[in-house]
């Protein structure tokens, strides 16, 4: 593909990825009315694998069979990291505030930026680093906007409230989720230039589905017996944020440094806020809009170096 066309395709694909992944929080909220977090995560990846399987096995069987042992093990490891990310992040919402969870899991791009020079030999460009800091600051503003309120002055949870009891466990889960997504993105960047998209995501999603199913069963949950509408929400999770959103990010990892792709994932809160406005009648506050402006500015700054 020629260079000018690629330069147009990359930002368009990342925009689609952000918009698709932004639907996840809305769909998870609908599914959580009946299903447990681990059930939602396991079925999300299982449905994605089932939908992808016919195309992968019919049209990419030869490439799947030719995967080297190293590539296969790394793809399985990426699936393991993805399963840990979903299991810990979604579960963290049962123990800590949404604000704390989002802030901590959003540190994933920071870990990618720190680890990329060591694991991928990719130097962190100054513009990408500044964009990351700006976008992360915007995510922090949005998260604090959900935890703080104004009553004769700005009131926010104290550090002791954040680091206490169930909240401490939930915050730790969210942080583990950030570390896991960093590993997932770094492995994707290492493999994607050498393995085409469909075989890679098929192995990764299948592995994640298997690991999450084990976690679900060990926790004592069953994937059966829910209302049909709950399965519809989970199927939409598999089709939109997983097969479209995550797959678009994985496509980009073949063409862009992992740190840059990680920066763009911070655009998710903006898309989620827009969807919440139209679907849940939740109007964004001025703080949310200010945070969104910082995120967009950070992504734009990083994009100029893509």
Condensed to tens digits (0 to 9), the pLDDT of residues 104-140 reads 677 777 778 778 777 878 777 777 778 777 877 776 6
How confident is the model at residue 151, as a pLDDT? 57
Cβ count near 70 (within 10 Å): 9
- Tokens of residue 96, six digits: 């800590």
- Helices and strands (H, E) in the chain, number of each type: 16, 2
Q: What are residue 149's DSSP bridge partners?
A: 155
How confident is the model at residue 234, as a pLDDT? 96
Residue 34's contacts (CB-CB under 8 Å, 6 or more residues apart) are: 226, 227, 230
The three-class DSSP label of residue 41 is helix
Lowest mean pLDDT among 66-70, 94-98, 121-125: 94-98
How confident is the model at residue 251, as a pLDDT? 92
Residue 150's contacts (CB-CB under 8 Å, 6 or more residues apart) are: none
Model confidence at 56, in pLDDT bands (50, 70, 90)?
A: very high
Residues 114/185, Cβ–Cβ less than 8 Å: no
Lowest mean pLDDT among 45-54, 181-190, 213-222, 275-284: 275-284
- Tokens of residue 185, six digits: 């993105």
- Tokens of residue 41, six digits: 């995560």
Residues 274/292, Cβ–Cβ less than 8 Å: no
Residue 34 has pLDDT above 90, yes or no: yes
In terms of C-beta distances under 8 Å and separation of at least 24 residues, what long-range contacts does 173-176 make, across chains too? 173/88, 173/89, 173/91, 173/92, 173/95, 173/96, 173/101, 174/88, 174/89, 174/92, 174/96, 174/100, 174/101, 174/102, 174/103, 174/104, 174/105, 175/104, 175/105, 175/107, 176/84, 176/88
The whole-model pTM stands at: 0.81
Rounded CA separation 52/160 (Å): 46
- What average pLDDT does the chain have? 82
More confident residue, 270 or 130: 130
How confident is the model at residue 260, as a pLDDT? 76
pLDDT by residue (tens digit) across 210-265?
Answer: 999 999 999 999 999 999 999 999 999 999 999 999 999 999 888 888 877 877 77
Q: Which percentage of the chain shows pLDDT scores above 90?
A: 38
Rounded CA separation 175/182 (Å): 11
Residue 95 has pLDDT above 60, yes or no: yes
Instruction: Tell which residue, 95, 90, 115, has the closest CA to residue 105.
Output: 90
Model confidence at 296, in pLDDT bands (50, 70, 90)?
A: confident
Tell me the average pLDDT across 183-202. Answer: 92
Tell me the average pLDDT across 66-82. Answer: 94
Place of tokens 């990083």: 302
Strands (E), the chain: 149-150, 154-155
pLDDT by residue (tens digit) across 148-183?
Answer: 555 565 566 555 555 555 666 777 888 888 889 989
Q: What are residue 150's DSSP bridge partners?
A: 154
How confident is the model at residue 247, as a pLDDT? 93
Residues 264/128, Cβ–Cβ less than 8 Å: no
Residue 15 has pLDDT above 60, yes or no: yes
Report residue 133: phi and psi, to 5°.
-60, -45
Report residue 116: phi and psi, to 5°.
-60, -45
List % helix, strand, coil for the chain (3-state, nearest 5).
80, 0, 20
How confident is the model at residue 157, as a pLDDT? 59
Q: What are residue 154's DSSP bridge partners?
A: 150
Q: Which percentage of the chain shows pLDDT scores above 70?
A: 79
- Degrees to nearest 5, angle at CA 174 with 184 and 95: 145
Rounded CA separation 287/30 (Å): 25
Model confidence at 50, in pLDDT bands (50, 70, 90)?
A: very high
């Amino acid at each position: 593909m020629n260079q000018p066309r690629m330069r147009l395709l990359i930002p368009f694909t990342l925009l689609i990825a952000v918009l698709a992944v932004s639907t996840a929080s809305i769909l998870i909220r609908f599914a959580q009315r009946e299903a447990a977090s681990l059930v939602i995560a396991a079925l999300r990846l299982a449905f994605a694998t089932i939908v992808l399987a016919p195309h992968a096995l019919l049209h990419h069987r030869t490439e799947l069979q030719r995967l080297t042992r190293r590539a296969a093990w790394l793809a399985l490891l990426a699936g393991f990291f993805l399963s840990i990310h979903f299991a810990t992040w979604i579960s963290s919402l049962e123990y800590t505030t949404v604000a704390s969870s989002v802030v901590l899991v959003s540190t994933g791009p920071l870990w990618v930026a720190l680890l990329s020079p060591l694991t991928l030999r990719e130097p962190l460009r100054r513009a990408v680093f500044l964009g990351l800091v700006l976008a992360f600051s915007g995510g922090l503003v949005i998260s604090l906007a959900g935890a703080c309120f104004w009553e004769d002055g700005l009131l926010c949870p104290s550090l002791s409230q954040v680091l206490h009891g169930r909240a401490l466990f939930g915050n730790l889960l969210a942080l583990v989720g950030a570390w896991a997504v960093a590993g997932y993105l770094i492995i994707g960047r290492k493999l994607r230039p050498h393995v085409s998209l469909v075989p890679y995501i098929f192995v990764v999603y299948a592995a994640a589905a298997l690991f999450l199913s084990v976690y679900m069963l060990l926790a004592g949950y069953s994937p059966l017996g829910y209302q049909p509408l709950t399965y519809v929400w989970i199927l939409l999770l598999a089709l939109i944020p997983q097969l479209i959103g995550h797959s678009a990010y994985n496509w980009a990892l073949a063409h862009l440094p992992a740190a840059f792709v990680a920066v763009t994932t911070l655009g998710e809160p903006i898309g989620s806020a827009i969807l919440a406005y139209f679907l849940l009648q939740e109007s964004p506050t001025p703080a949310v809009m200010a945070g969104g402006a910082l995120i967009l500015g950070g992504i734009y700054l990083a994009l100029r170096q893509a």
